[in-house]
Each structure stands twice: as C-alpha cells, then as structure tokens.
Structure 1
Amino acid sequence: MSDPAIRVLDLTDRLGYQAARVFVGLGADVVRVVLHDDSDSAAERLHWHAGKKVLRQSGTVSDTTLIELVARADVVLESGPVPALRTLALRDSQPSLWTGIVHTVITPFGISGPRREWLGDDTVITAAGGMAWLCGDTGQAPEPPPREQGTQLAGTHGAIGALLALIARRRTNAGQLVEISAQEAVAATLEIGAISWIHGGTIPGRTSGIYGHVAHRVFRASDGFLAGGYSGSPRMWTDLLAWMVEEGEAEDLADERWQDNEIRWRERAHVDAVVSRFTGRRPAGPFAEEARRRALPWAEVASGPALLNNPQLIDRRFFVDSGSKGSYRDVGFGWESPALPRPVRLNEPRYVEARDVWTEQRHFDNATADPQTAPGALHGVRVLDLTWVLAGPYVTKTFAEHGADILKVESFHRKDPTRFSPGMRLRPDAGFDDGGYFLNFNRNKRSVALNLKTEAGQNLLRRLAADVDVVVENFSPGVLARWGLDYEQLRKINPGVVLVSMAGTGQTGPWRDAVTFADTLAAMSGLTAETARSDRDPQGLTFGLGDMVAANAAVIGTLELLYRGEGGHVDLSQLEAMASHLGSAALEGQLADRVPTDAGRILRSLGEDRWIAIGSCTPDALREALTGISAAAEHDPWEALTHAAAALDADLLAERLQNQGIAAYPVRDGRDLVETDVQLRARNFYRTLEHPIAGSVAHEGLVAHLSATPGELRTAAPLLGQHTDEILVEQLGLTADELADLHNEGVLS
C-alpha cells in the first residue's frame, strides 16, 4: 500500500478465516497465531492461509507474547465464541495497549445480548440468520448454502469493519473496537427473506430452486445442467422463443396467447416444461455459448474443477497460484488490489518466531476520537450512485450507513425494477415511492432525478461527477463511455475519483458482454453445482446472495483506495466475487484431498414446519449433552436427538444443548427474525425509520459496529427526485430560473 503494508494479527478460527484472507488479498502483512483448534485439511490450509506467516509456538502463546504482537499491529482479528476470546480480556486488563489498534472481533451472536455466549458453526449461524430457511426442497429440512457462506459473510464484514476503522484512524489517530455478529451478517443478506414479512406479511420459503419473482431456474442439459430463464426485458422471452422456433422445438409456445407475460407467469409450469425439453436435447457448454451470442441470460452449471478452465476468468487473471513454486491454482479475490496486482502468487504459510515479527511498534499519540460525538468513518465522502436493483444499491447502502453522502441518480425514464415492478414492492397497494424492496436498500440516500436520455441530463451528470469522491455504476460495459464518463475520461475532470464498475463478468474479457442474472452468475461461479446431492440435481439459490457477495467485494475495493488516498477504477466482476466464495473446492481435486464435510444437521422440531440446527459435535459430546433429555442416547445419540427434537420446542431444546456445550439454534424464517428472535431484538438489529408515505417501517440494521465512529440509520429511502433541486443548487450552484427551465424541458424527471 502507499504506506507500509498493513500489519494484521490473525487470531481467527473458521468464523474469521475470510476476514484474514481479505487482508492477504489487500497485500497486508498477515501473521497468524493459532489460538483455537486447527483441524483444517491440506486444501483448506492452503486456501485460507496462503500468503501468511504463522507463529511457530501457536497454541501455547503467552499473554506477554500476545501483548507484544498486539502492540506492533495495525489490525487485530479474533473470532470465536465470546468466552474464548483472549483479546477481549486483554482489552479490559490493558486498555492503553489498544490506543491505535483496530481491534475486530467476530462472534456467532455478538458481544451483547442474552445469547452472546452461545456457540455457532456455519450450520447454526445460517439457521439463526434466516438463510438456511430459504434453501432446500418444499416440505423437507432447510439447508445451509454450500461452502460455509454464513461464516464467509461474517468474515467479509469483519474485514469491511476493520477497513472502515483504518480510514477513521486517518482522521482521529485512534483505533477502536469493531464488532461483528455472524447472525446479523447472515440476516442482512437475505434479499426479501425478512422484508417480505415486514412489508407484506408473507414468508418466502423453500422452493427447490424455483425463483419466486423471476422465471429462472436450473434446467437439465443432455450432459449436465444449465441455469437461466426468460424474465427481464421482453427481449429475453422473444429471442429465446425465436431460437426455439428456428430449431422447430417451440411446440405451442409460438401461439399468440403465450406472448402475454401474465399468462406465461400464471402457467409457468407448462412454459418451463417446454423449455426443459429444448435444453435437454443439447449439451450445456454449446447451449450456453450460443445463448451468450444471442445475449440471453443462460450459463452452464460449472463444478469447482471446471471453473479453472473458464475463459473469462483466465483472461482476467482471476486465479491465484499458490503453494510450493505456485504449483496449485486456487480461486482468487473478488477485486484486484493495487498492492497485489494480478496475476497473484501466494506462498504456503511460512513459520516464524515471535521475536522476528514486526520489530518496530506503531505509535499513535494525540488521539482525537470521542465515542459520543465522532461522525461515521466515511464522514465527508461524497458518492455518486448510478446503480439500480440490488448489488449496486447494497454497496452505496453500506457507504451511507457509515456517514457517506449518497447522491442517488434515478429517473422515470430508466425504471429501477425495485421501484417500479409491482412484484418487488412487497407492501400491498404500495407505489413506486414506498415499495418495501426499495425502502430497505436505499435508506440514508438523497435522490436526484436526471433524464439521461437528454444531452442536458448527461451534462448535469458529468458536472456532478466532477465533484465527488466515488462514482458507483452497474451499467453494461460501454454505457459510461458513451456519456463521456468511463474512467479515462472521468479522471480528466476528477483526477482523484474512485470509479466502481459492477458488470456481471467485468469490463474486459471474452464474456464481458454476457447478459447475467444472479442465477447465471451462481452457475458460472461453481456455487450452484455445490447444491447438488447424491439424490438430487443442483437447484441453485433463490435469493440474491451473489449480488450481496459482489457488493461486499466492491465495498472492499473502494475502501482500500479511500484508505490509500488514491483514485482508481474498481473493475468489479460479480462472477469473480462469487467464485472467490467457493472456498477450497478448486484445490481439493489438485491435492487429492478429502475435505471433511460439516457434520451439523437440521432436525424437525415441535410445530408445523419448525426446525432446529445442531452444530458439528462428536457422538460422545452429544451423548453426554442428551443426558436427561433422551434415555436412548446411549445407543445412537443422533437418532435419539432426532426423536427428542420432534417433541420439543426448538428454542427450549437449543437452550438446553447450548448449556451443555453443543451449538444449536432454531431455524428462523423472516417473521421469526423480525418478531421473535430475542438476540436480534436485544441488539436492536431491526431499526424503525419514518417514511412520508409508508410511515414507521422496520429496516435491516448495520452489520459492522464501530465503537468510536458508529454508523447509523438516519433517514428513510427518498422519494424519486426528492432532493433534485437541493442537490443541483448545493453542488452545481444552479439558479431558480435554471431549475425551472430544466423541469419544464423534462430533464429533471
């Protein structure tokens, strides 16, 4: 980085592995001390810890040695259950030690609240946060998403919180405590999982991978599987139909009645059946290639090993060469750091002695942070938000929560589906200004209406872009260039600007123009393939996990440049961000390594469609925990627990098991999260904001809690164009007469 590399002391267990890996991807100097049980396989060790130094006497490190290492670090990362966190105890006993340190702790349920000491692995966390509820087959047990997405989200938010605190330290010269609850990280990544209940009183459930709000799903090919569909613009249907007609396989879909979108949606089962016969006669790879040529949103469902041959990822040098002499190829990072430019090569973890780690201590005097008055970490940062739908608005939502001023450009002439699509409004009788989806992801922002189909609107956009710190856009590649705002032109009028582009597959490469939806990106990335079981085809994920994973990667890339004090172009590929969450899948075949599967389970409990998640544990530990609950535990403890759970309330059983040292939690649906979960309620995760039309509305809360520069939810989402005149006067100095003319000409609409 422009300063010496960030020093990161990595004290994480699996809950925080992703946080430390993010810092490796930022070119940081990461030293790992193993304080917790480390039973990683060879593939997992290489994936999670390549590029780090590892303290040789890990596991027996003394408080004295730990204090010395903390004193020399910039960032200290620790994760795990609250009672096991050594740095929290050191924070109490050695408060002066932490003056300039960014101290980040990631726990299953947070460091406050009645369940702060509860245990949780990925199965338990995804159940507690509502994600497992959305995955799996109707009427069957919920399922955690593959490859520990819950813990990866928690780790990512830990890194985001640490970067925010580092940026704040530039202003205040002070460190602070950053706290992440894995439950909250998951609960903030459900798309409509909870907000459907908040706004519409409905509870999205498990649908075997069939999307509930777009006509997309996984289809069989002759030799594998495809993800795709026919939602979006009308062209997605007409061009797919034209292809089927050309091949003589449209059956009755060419009839006039099927050109009515409402009929297609109402009788979707028939349309899907015809499309399934069409895809089933063709191999997946050639089908996907022809679909890309026709600009249709389809993709082959790729496995982890097949991912390594993806021409788009190869062209963009996404993969990391790691291990001895770079002999293994792993998934890379979701962004490209200027401190670690591609192609990236990471060495195997290298053992070091404590005395050889960071010989000079950092000095932070005259700290100015006041926990009672300090503004958010991004106070003073102005962001021009040109995004729509989910991934882009999630980026600017995060910036807004931590103090940035978001100028959201939108229009009646380019209708954001989250405003204008009735199916995404969620609230009965809601209009485009008070739809639930838009409200949740656009709070804390100001709206300026610009008709970018006019030359005057494009000119105003260029003038706004000349006086901001960050521009975020998720147009198709090439759109900004036509407006004179691609990075090369933008930096001529704003040399220090950070441009964040969020195309599906990136700005370059042979697939740069691919039309992508969340499901096609998940298929390309390898995540969809991971949802297959021996008794079931892959089904994908029916909520926007990939959008929010991509958003988090874009946030990291942007925060790095803001911390460095540099402008730059974050060329974010949503495909790369999702592929970076594949864990060790790409390495396992190369290492002929058997990675142990998560032994956690989800069992039926008392009540209709009620379930409890049980974390990974040994039979002996489970047998001991079941004493007094089931007399049959001596024979087969899992069978005994299965029978006992069916007759017990999930919250009651979870509490009993947690008291016996077994991680457990009820599987939460959207209503449970908002109304009944005692931990989320105690931590005030769902915050109420006043909206001029919708009234008092609950919103999903913040994930990164910073002790000295806390973020906040300040204002509800804006009405379309609510702040147009205010912003144009404030930023561009327009007069009342100029504004009147622009309104009359339809430029500000």
Structure 2
Amino acid sequence: MSEKANTGPLKDIRVIELGQLIAGPFCGQLLGDMGAEIIKVEPPRQGDPMRNWGHGNEKLWWEVVARNKKSVSANLRVAEGQEIVRKLVAQADILIENFKPGTLEKWGLAPDVLHAINPGLIIVRVSGYGQTGPYSSRAGFGGIGEAMGGWRSIVGDADRPPSRMGVSIGDSLAATYGCMGALAALHHRDKTGRGQVVDSALYEAVLQVMESLVPEYMVSNHVRKRTGSILEGIAPSNVYPCSDGEYLIGANQDAVFARLCQAMGRPELAADERYATHVARGRNQTELDELIADWTRTHTIAEVEALMIEHSVPAGMIYTAAEMLADPHFEARETLVEVDSDRWGKFKMQNSFPRLSETPGGIRSLAPTEIGQDNASVYGKLLGLDETALAELAERGII
C-alpha cells in the first residue's frame, strides 16, 4: 500500500509514542488517523507486545492500532536510549506514554525535564489510577479500571458474576479521553505557547460514561444492578428471538411504542394501561418482553426488519464481522476501508472516525512491519545520525 496524501487536521503535529499494549497506542492511533505524524518508539528486538496480540490464526490487531505510524527503536532503560527520546521531544508537539507512574521519572524523562527541553510539549500520561493519589503506584490494566469505575458491577446477569465486554473498553476509553485532552491542550498552547500534562486514569475514564450512577446513590440510595440484556425500567428495549436468529428492538418512547404496536398488528396495546406510559411499561417490562418475543418468533429477521422500517421503529440486526462486510450502508459510507498488505494481502479494517468535512482523516500507511524500520529516516532527519552512527547504536543494543 503506497502512502496516501495527508489531509487530516493534525498533519503539522508530531507525536512521540512511548506507550505499549492498548491505552497509549490507541491514543496514538486516534491522533494518527487525524493526520499527526506518529513516531512510535519500541524496545529493540522485542517491540510492542501488540505485534502478537489478536484472535484467530493470524494476529491482526497490530495492523489497526499501529496504522499511520513510523517505528523507531530505542532502549529506554539505558542513558543513551533516554537521550534519544529527549532529542526527539525537542522537535515534537505531543508525547504519549502509558507506563506505571514514576517510570518516566526513573528514566530521566519526567515532565519537568521534558518541558525544560520543549516548553510547548504536551505529555499524555495514561495509567490505571492516575499520576497522583494513594493508588497511583499500583499496576492497573483496563479490566481493573472497569471494575473500579463502576462498569463491571452493572454488566451481566443478576444471578451471575460480573461480565466484561468482548473488547478492552477501559483502555480504549482512557486513550480516547487522553486524545481529547491532547487536543484541548493544543488549543491552549496556541494561545499561550505552553504545554502541559494530560493525566488520563483508566478508572476515571470509565466513570465518565457511568451516567448518574453516583448521584442516584447519594440522593435516593439507588444502587444499579446487573440486568442482563435490558436496562431496568426501559421498555421495550431488548433482543428478541426470531425464527432464524435474534433481533434488537428499541421502542421505549411512547410514540415509538405505538408504532411498534401497529407493526405487530396489536394497536390496542398502546392504550393498555399496563403499557401506555414509559413508567407503566417499565413496571411491566418482563411480561411486555415476553409478549413481543411471542410475536417475533413467528417471523424471520428480514420480515421483522421490514416492518420496523415501514413503521419507523429503531431496530437492527446483531452484527458480526460478516454482516458488516456485506452491509450496503457500511460500503456506502466507507465505514470499512480496504488496505493492501505485503504480508496479509487485501483486507478491510475500520476507517478513521469521526468524519470531518473539510479535513478528513484516513489510513495513509500500514502498520510498520519491522521493529525500528524507520530508524534511518527518522533519526537521520531529526537527529542527524548517519549510517555509521546508527550501526554502532544497533550493535550496542541502544536501537
């Protein structure tokens, strides 16, 4: 895949990505999709563990999270590797890291040191518990942040242990908020010339999407519980069985519910006192779901979907990758974009998001295949290192 033109709004921004695994690299992916130059610093020979993560026979997660990035190598545990980062920082706008708090400081790369080199540098620090507080020194992965932030306690069935999502949502949320903070910090720097630290904790990122969970407990002593496939009191909004699979219907607003009743051939239900209002439907949620399920079982997914579209009821199939690849809406909006890899051939992955009308982001280049494959171009251009100097550093395990 030849590199495509950069039309993103961040095409004049340079990012040094020190992080590994998910949270730091996903933040870099978001910024890279928006046009930023991402220089990913990997441990020599070892590389980012994400190179070997994924599901199935072939591990392709790296192809998504490392797209639009350049790979350089540097051993950050030795002084010369740390000095390489300090020199890169002098010519960068943003640095991303997701190491355990205190690690940068141990390596001589503390924010005050980096800001002395580059006062305008924005430092995005993603960690389990944040850079301060009594838990800051603890190790923390996404699942721990999901538990502490309240997510795990309300996900799953009431009679079973807490469930998790099938993706690393805690890491991705913390990375997304880290990206948001970086963009806000860029705006501040435009006005003042000063950089700052963006402190994104996994548990706090999860807490941000927990709606009114804490105020509900404080004001009315309400404790949200696990409710499986429904939200308690929000009805009808569930997955219902059809003769050939499952289908999601969300008709909890009064007018929408009335349209669902029309689609079912049961218009009288909209006036039934058990179901006529939002509160009444919530009170009788179980029996209403059973009533709708009895109807959907007699139809195929296609038949139910046609009726939902006809009556303007929010509903949809439960998509897997196969349905996404076959769906005309995905194709029309280029939600999935095809790339051509020397290693894997042609395949599709999610496009950049969100969509910008004037400065669209996109996938300009594939994930770097080799660890440090851009050492010569990056270190040559930014640090003035020639082939002899690079070879000596490589021989000594610095890069």
The secondary structure found in structure 1 opposite 2:127 is coil
Partner of 1:679: 329
1:614 to 249, 264, 272: 249
Report deviation, 1:726: 0.6
Deviation by residue 1:455-511 (Cα, 9 ceiling, x = unmatched): 322221221122100000011111111222110111011111001111110111110
Deviation by residue 1:669-700 (Cα, 9 ceiling, x = unmatched): 23322x22332222111111222212222111
> Does 1:587 find its partner at 2:215?
yes
1:373-452 alignment runs, 5 A limit: 375-412=7-44, 414-420=46-52, 424-426=53-55, 428=57, 430=58, 435-452=59-76
Partner of 1:16: none
- TM-score normalized by structure 2? 0.84
Q: Which moved more, 1:593-602 or 1:376-385?
A: 593-602
Partner of 1:548: 172
Report deviation, 1:637: 6.8
Q: Is the 8 A contact 1:382 1:404 kept in 2?
A: yes
1:318-397 alignment runs, 5 A limit: 375-397=7-29
Q: How many residues are aligned here?
A: 365
- TM-score normalized by structure 1? 0.46
CA distance in 2, matches of 1:668, 1:601: 15
Q: Is the 8 A contact 1:378 1:399 kept in 2?
A: yes
> Does 1:699 find its partner at 2:336?
no
Partner of 2:233: 597
CA distance in 2, matches of 1:642, 1:515: 45
CA distance in 2, matches of 1:644, 1:731: 66
Q: Is the 8 A contact 1:392 1:502 kept in 2?
A: yes
Report deviation, 1:452: 2.5
1:567 to 168, 184, 195: 195
Aligned-residue RMSD, C-alpha:
2.5
Q: 1:460 to 1:655 in 2, by over 3 A?
A: same
Partner of 2:275: none
CA distance in 2, matches of 1:438, 1:632: 51
CA distance in 1, matches of 2:356, 2:158: 44
Partner of 2:89: 465
Deviation by residue 1:272-328 (Cα, 9 ceiling, x = unmatched): xxxxxxxxxxxxxxxxxxxxxxxxxxxxxxxxxxxxxxxxxxxxxxxxxxxxxxxxx
CA distance in 2, matches of 1:733, 1:678: 50
Q: Is the 8 A contact 1:444 1:716 kept in 2?
A: yes
Q: 1:563 to 1:538 in 2, by over 3 A?
A: same
Q: 1:618 to 1:387 in 2, by over 3 A?
A: closer
Deviation by residue 1:184-227 (Cα, 9 ceiling, x = unmatched): xxxxxxxxxxxxxxxxxxxxxxxxxxxxxxxxxxxxxxxxxxxx
Q: 1:703 to 1:598 in 2, by over 3 A?
A: farther
Report deviation, 1:647: 3.5
Partner of 1:273: none
The secondary structure found in structure 2 opposite 1:665 is strand
Q: Is the 8 A contact 2:130 2:199 kept in 1?
A: yes
| Structure 1 unaligned blocks of 5 or more | 1-372
Partner of 1:653: 304
Partner of 2:276: none
> Does 1:737 find its partner at 2:361?
no
Q: 1:668 to 1:394 in 2, by over 3 A?
A: same
1:436-515 alignment runs, 5 A limit: 436-515=60-139
The secondary structure found in structure 1 opposite 2:220 is coil
CA distance in 1, matches of 2:47, 2:24: 15
Letter in 2 for 1:486: A
CA distance in 1, matches of 2:84, 2:155: 47
Letter in 2 for 1:644: W
Q: Is the 8 A contact 2:131 2:199 kept in 1?
A: yes
Report deviation, 1:416: 2.5
Q: 1:737 to 1:376 in 2, by over 3 A?
A: same
Q: 1:416 to 1:606 in 2, by over 3 A?
A: farther
Q: Which moved more, 1:406-415 or 1:613-622?
A: 613-622
Q: 1:721 to 1:387 in 2, by over 3 A?
A: same
| Structure 2 unaligned blocks of 5 or more | 225-231, 273-286
Partner of 1:709: 359
Q: 1:473 to 1:409 in 2, by over 3 A?
A: same
Q: 1:447 to 1:627 in 2, by over 3 A?
A: same
Report deviation, 1:652: 3.8
